[in-house]
Amino acid sequence: MAPGRNRGWLLRLVIAFGFAQGAVSMARPAVSYRALALGADERAVGVLAGVYALLPLFAAVPLGRRTDHGRCAPLLPVGVVLISGGCALSGLAGSLWAMALWSGVMGLGHLCFVIGAQSLVARQSAPHEQDRNFGHFTIGASLGQLVGPIAAGAVIGGPDMAGTSALALVVAGAGAAVAFTSLWRIEDRTVVKSRAAEGDRVPVGRILRARGVPAGMLISLSVLSATDILTAYLPVVGEHRDISPAVIGVLLSARAGATIACRLVLTPLLRLLGRPLLLTATCFLAALLCAGIAVPVPVWALGLMLAVLGFCLGVGQPLSMTTVVQAAPEGARSTALALRLTGNRLGQVAAPAGAGLLAGVAGVAAPFVMLGALLLVSAGVAVRSPGAVGRGEGSGPVPPTRRKGPALRRTSDI
pTM reported for the whole predicted model: 0.70
Residue 98: count of CB within 10 angstroms of its CB: 13
- Give, in order, the Cα–Cα distances in Å from 135 to each of 38, 97, 261, 265, 412: 39, 37, 11, 9, 19
How many residues belong to the chain? Answer: 414
- Give, in order, the Cα–Cα distances in Å from 405 to each of 306, 322, 399, 410, 411: 41, 21, 12, 10, 12
Residue 361's pLDDT is 66
- Give, in order, the Cα–Cα distances in Å from 157 to each of 33, 35, 165, 206, 289: 9, 14, 8, 50, 28
Closest CA to 216 of 269, 155, 283: 283
d(CA 257, CA 144): 10
Query: Is pLDDT above 80 for 280?
Result: yes
Closest CA to 156 of 93, 244, 24: 244
Confidence bin at 267 (pLDDT 50/70/90)? confident
Query: Is pLDDT above 80 for 204?
Result: no
Tens digit of each residue's pLDDT (9 = 90 or more) over 157-169: 777 888 898 999 9
Closest CA to 17 of 125, 136, 153: 136
Average pLDDT over residues 231-245: 81
Average pLDDT over residues 185-196: 57
Q: Work out the angle at residue 19's Cα, subtended by the Cα atoms of residues 17 and 25, and round it to the nearest 5 degrees.
A: 95
DSSP designation for 365: T
Query: Is pLDDT above 90 for 346?
Result: no
Average pLDDT over residues 391-412: 34
In contact, 318 and 137? CB cutoff 8 Å:
yes
Tens digit of each residue's pLDDT (9 = 90 or more) over 74-121: 889 999 999 999 999 988 887 888 888 898 899 999 989 988 888 888
Q: What is the CA radius of gyration of the chain?
A: 20
Average pLDDT over residues 57-61: 78
Average pLDDT over residues 307-331: 82
% of the chain exceeding 90 in pLDDT: 14
User: Who wins on pLDDT, 342 or 30?
Assistant: 30
d(CA 100, CA 108): 12
Residue 359's pLDDT is 65
Query: Is pLDDT above 80 for 353?
Result: no
Residue 368's pLDDT is 81
CA torsion sign for 269, 275, 281, 283 is positive
Average pLDDT over residues 264-278: 84
Residue 383's pLDDT is 66
Residue 295's pLDDT is 83
